[in-house]
Amino acid sequence: MRSVCLLLIGLSFSVSSYADNLLSLYQRALLASPELSGSQYALDIARAQEDQSFGKLLPQAVLKGNYSGNNLKYETRSGDQYPGKNAGVTMRQPLFDLQAYLLMKSQTSRTEQGEENLLAAHQQLISDLVTRYVDALEAADKSDIISAELSSTEKQLARVKAMNERQMALITDLYELQARVETLRTALIESNNDAKIALEKLRELTGDAVTGIQPVRLDSTEPPPDGSVDTWIDQAHRINPELNGLKRAVESADQSISAYQAGHLPRVELQASGNYSNTAFNNQQTPAYTVGTIGVDMTMPLYEGGITSARVREAEGRKGLSNSQLEQKLREVEKITRAAYLDMTSSPARSLATDRQLEANEQAEAAMEKGYELGVVTIVDLLNAQKQLSEARKVQRQSRYRYFKARSNLLQQAGRLDVEELAKLNSWLASDSSVASAIAQSEIKATDKPVTPVSKSVDDATSEIETPVINIKKPAKPAVNTVAAPAPVPVPQTVSKPADKPVTNTVTTPVAVPIPAPQTVSKPVAAPVNPPIAQPIVNAVPPPAAIEPLTKPSTSAAANPVIESAVSNRPKVREGDCRFVHADYRNPKYKHCLTFTAPNKQQ
């Protein structure tokens, strides 16, 4: 015991001053736990009752003494006054008392049950401490993860809001970001409250305030359990203190039945006594005398009103109750042992899978950011990717916590959860680094890099894409631009990177022709023409007479990807619905609609 205390004291000095770990909390809980104190008091009561039952089998000695003043009077003659003295000692030794002996054995089993219950209470204290400590870690990690996501989303909201004021971002993107920010704020309030409640649950064990705990190490070892599950179950049946306590209760009830049945048998005692007296019957004066006696006393109960039979039935009922509780506990222990064993066995693979899941979600989130910048995904897709990334971080940490809980449960059921195992678990859990800082490091790429909404990319994002190299001879009139294409070889069009936005070249009417990765384009899609014959190429520009002050945008996402998300929400777009317009970078006379006026309720 002294070595264990020295171990705890030595390890507690290594704990940082601002946060508690398992060992420091265990020291405080060990001194403040009312359950542990109650189990100790229950054991003291059982030991005292065992001493009482054993005392009935030992010799009993009684010393008596009496001094009296006597006044004797007669009717016919004078009386006399004299003192009376009496003294005696009596000793009894049971020779045959089967009921007392069996009751003593029954009480011994109850004392052993109390010892097992005390050991079970100690292990339950460690198990509760581990479970609540891990729950507090999980709640703190959840708050840090939500806080990091909220900070990143707020920065995106600020950018999109500023761009929307300059008519460079869709109003739907702004609303989606605002909704997500408010959702995250609500979740952060709930998670912070859960974290405080988790610390209060630790306070219930320690008896004083717990202000902070050390975070978990993500690189902690997760060794699988030794042996097979049947080995652990067999060990639990033999060592589990709760099972052993119930077994002692069954033994105690069985011995009580035999003890109360022995109440019908006779009791035999050896008696020895010695008496001194100077008075006789009615305290009449007599010469002083001394009498010594030794003998055997036998008592045979004949009828006690049915008390003995009722005690037997009570003991039989207690035995049946103890057997039922033992069977129930056996099944519960086997269930928990198997579940904990399976959790520990699958934990390494589960942790590896969650690591890969997190890596995949990080890549997906980065891809969604790039796609949003290029206009191929909406803000909803980006927010869903960020949400899935946060969930992957939570799942990764939950897989570690699940292993620690499973190990604690398995060792508790096997009766091996002690302070040494707690110190080992603490060495795996304790870490000087913060989970929040790790999350912040992983969020640097997402927060430092601005996210550009799709409507800004009409001028800015397309500047990164090289337009096709075509020798154009502009005539005086802008209606038709004639280009002489080489006869035998198609015109090469080189793009520096995959074009995420389609480029439209049409003949007479707008036809969307997306340009893929670097490739060669022979000529525009039109009526079939023999390659050697030069054909004029007509750009997607209507004649000047056909240009109106404000043209309605094309509802084709390929022809006008800038309003893809907006058109999907408002497919029926008419002239006059646009409040802000933006010129197409390919031809300033062709307008794009950026935002729409609110539809009339009567329409």
Mean pLDDT (the chain, rounded): 74
The sign one gets for the Cα dihedral 55, 57, 59, 61 is: positive
**pLDDT at res. 278:** 86
Q: How far is CA 475 from CA 230, 415, 472, 482, 568, in A?
A: 91, 94, 9, 8, 39
- What domains does the chain contain, in order, with CATH numbers? 2-69+80-259+270-448 (1.20.1600.10)
Contact between 50 and 110 under an 8 Å Cβ cutoff? The reply is yes
**pLDDT at res. 432:** 45
**pLDDT at res. 230:** 93
The residue among 476 and 129 whose pLDDT is bigger is: 129
pLDDT-based confidence at residue 471 (cuts at 50, 70, 90): very low
Contact between 397 and 141 under an 8 Å Cβ cutoff? The reply is yes
φ, ψ of residue 533 in degrees (nearest 5): -90, 130
**Cα separation, 559 vs 592, whole angstroms:** 11
**pLDDT at res. 279:** 85
pLDDT-based confidence at residue 280 (cuts at 50, 70, 90): confident
For the entire predicted model, the pTM comes to: 0.65
- pLDDT, tens only, 315-350: 999 999 999 999 999 999 999 999 999 999 999 999
Residues sharing a CB contact under 8 Å with residue 61, sequence separation 6 or more, in sequence order: 89, 90, 91, 92
The secondary structure element, H or E, covering residue 294 is: strand 285-299
- pLDDT, tens only, 35-48: 999 999 999 999 99
Residue 319 DSSP SS3: helix
- pLDDT, tens only, 545-576: 443 343 333 434 444 443 343 334 333 434 44
Contact between 479 and 488 under an 8 Å Cβ cutoff? The reply is no
**Cα separation, 373 vs 444, whole angstroms:** 18
φ, ψ of residue 64 in degrees (nearest 5): -125, 150
**pLDDT at res. 431:** 54
Q: Which tokens go with 461?
A: 């994002």
Predicted confidence (pLDDT) at residue 528 exceeds the cutoff of 60: no
- Beta-sheet strand order (sheet of 267-279): 60-72, 80-96, 267-279, 285-299
